[in-house]
Amino acid sequence: MKPSKNCSQVTADEKTKIALKNLNGNHTPQVLVLFGPPGAGKGTQAELLTQKFYFYNLDTSRVLEEKFKNAKPGEKIEISGEVFDVAEEAQKRHKGVLVSVGFTAFLMNKRIAEIHGLGKSLILSGSPRSVAEAEIEMPALEELYGKENITVLYLDLTPEQTMFRNSNRRICELMRHSILYIPENATLKRCPLDGSRLVRRDLDTPETIKLRLEEYAQTTLPLKNYYQEKGFNFKTINAGQFVEDVFADILAALGPKFKVYEI
Ligand SMILES: [Zn+2]
């Protein structure tokens, strides 16, 4: 896999500038948190929402992979007295287990503060992945953006659909766009967005898929209660539909307030 520059975010940044200019400052930056099982289409929906509303798509996988790619040999980071070995964290990711919470949350909060500093709306599509991580990231988001401007979208998928989609998932070589195994994509050979070849992810062996789904059930799913107990604006979306229908349901759930940001 060739490393690729993140062109989509550069373009989105330019669009954000234009969008914000057109709105003459009548813009309250918003946060959308997408969560759900692997294969629910979080990345796909985040990409669509980014294009529609010109949000900044803060993808945890990209933040982590960028850090791992640019790490110096033997690099260690000290966060609140705890020392993290970057290579060890990279190893965890390749095995399909979760990267340390403190390490991920540190990288994410740093980026969140940068994006907020630019007055941008934000979509989180791979984070927080655990209640422990949410307890570090959500207060930071609340403090910066205000709780009333945060919406949690739960992309709900049955265990059977989750297993099926993960066993058949592909990504494109150029930008790592995730191609879900749904009827409209089944015969695709190339990425509809950039034309590059579709390949299996290195991460998607049967063992890592099983491990990842177990991790999700134990570690990530409890977030459902966390968000509801903390009183976040929480919307459940049926993710087991065609991409466009899931997207339409999301737009309906977000309501008319989001029309303001559409250019
Ligand atoms: Zn692609």
pLDDT, tens digit (0-9, with 9 covering 90-100), for 148-202? 999 999 999 988 888 888 888 888 999 888 787 777 778 889 998 899 999 987 7
Distance 58 CA to ligand 1 centre (A): 17
> Which residue, among 153, 204, 190, has the nearest Cα to 48 in the 3D structure?
153
- CA–CA separation, 175 vs 154, rounded Å? 25
Ligand 1 centre distance from Cα of residue 101 (Å): 29
| CA–CA gap between residue 13 and residue 58 (Å, rounded) | 12
Ligand 1 centroid–CA 208 distance in Å is 23
pTM of the predicted structure, to 2 decimals: 0.78
In this prediction, residues 114-136 reach a mean pLDDT of 91
Task: Specify the pLDDT at position 139.
Answer: 96
Distance (Å) from CA 172 to ligand 1 centroid: 5
Q: Which residue has the higher pLDDT, 5 or 34?
A: 34
Neighbours of 99 (CB within 10 A): 21
Q: Is the pLDDT of residue 241 over 80?
A: yes
- The residue ranking higher by pLDDT, 27 or 24, is 27
Confidence of residue 54 (pLDDT cuts 50, 70, 90): confident
Q: How far apart are CA 107 and CA 101, in angstroms?
A: 10
Which comes out higher in pLDDT, residue 14 or 69?
Answer: 69
The answer to whether residue 91 scores a pLDDT higher than 80 is yes
Ion ligand 1 nearby residues (CB, 5 A): 172, 175, 177, 191, 193-194
- What average pLDDT does the structure give for the chain? 85
* Ligand 1 centre distance from Cα of residue 250 (Å): 23
